[in-house]
Amino acid sequence: MIIVKGGVTAAKGFLASGVRAGIKKSGRKDLALIYSEEPAVASGAFTTNRFQASPVKLSRVYLKNGKHQAIIVNSGNANCANGSSGDKNALYMAYLASCGLCLKRREVLVASTGIIGRPLPIEKIDDGIIDLVEGLSKEGGDDFAEAIMTTDTVKKESAVKIKLKNGCIVTIGGACKGVGMIYPVLNTERHATMLCFFTTDAAISKKMLARALEEAMDTSFNMISVDGDMSTNDSCFIMANGLAGNKKITSAGRDYAIFTDALKFLATELAKKMVADGEGATKFVEIEVTNAKSEREARVIARKVSTSNLLKCCVYGEDPNWGRVAASCGASGVEFDPDKVDIYLGPIKVLNNGASVRNFDKEKARKVFKKHDINIKVDLKSGRYKAKSWTSDLSKEYVAVNSEYST
């Protein structure tokens, strides 16, 4: 696997664009489109929040279609809590894109991000659709990544190439946005806001594509937190158009494993970029839980620690109060023996077999928290499973951004 330039247009047969439709008061790009030149199979993962935005509800239904060729996205307005008019506007977004691309409406997926409870200015999307379609190009990935941003400060995109059996080269590209209201709990179709879009030229069945996406989500986006708040609009899509020409992946063999490992890597890289760009974030924190009795238990504890506002405040204040970590582990609901647990702040052991290391160097520990990248490790010494989660600090800037977001 090698990392290559490009985002959603890195794979063969994918074009993208991003334009200014006037949805955002700032005048920045706010309408985006991905288009596959050939019909593709698609899968999606969506928020488990009961209060779901209209585009989420629509895309869930449309993913039952066998083929897809486009995804239209707007930023600056979540199209959530708008009742039947919101549902109609999500439908109309798909209709506008389908007309411009000469597709069936069900072949177009829809996503939105922005402020909840404001009517979607569908007339602006209508006015911008011609420029959006005409702007599609192989170089349009950057415009797409920019147009889906809300309070993000940087574009987030990446791509990788992998070699399957018989030397066939497959590309997977992706772009995402999200820096606030970040605590995704995503489920795939078969079972501020985070939006993520993957494209690949791999030939793969719809069933195996959904399985690969689910595996990738579990170790990436489902393991991050900026503020512990789950969005109404969280969505992750993947389209595969088969133009790489590989033997179609229809079962869990060597090619499936190579493809899924690459997708996991790409999803994790994009997830980390979201956390690093978290609203007001000054620190990036990785929490590793090792030697748990099961992978699920390791994930539960790692994620619980990542949502501790007390810990996040300590990180911002550069105060190595490891007690916040121990308390979060104990509150996770996972059964473990606290008298076996070790905790490390960077390389410094601060808890040994459930007891404070009395002579640890607090100044060295404080220096760990002064760094931008901080590693926290919890060793349960109860099994052989591990998991990682990622979070940011809770700063004064975060409070400022979110106290004025809807004004």
Q: Which residues are catalytic?
A: 193
Q: How many CB atoms lie within 10 A of CB 399?
A: 12
Rounded CA-CA distance 40/200 in Å is 9
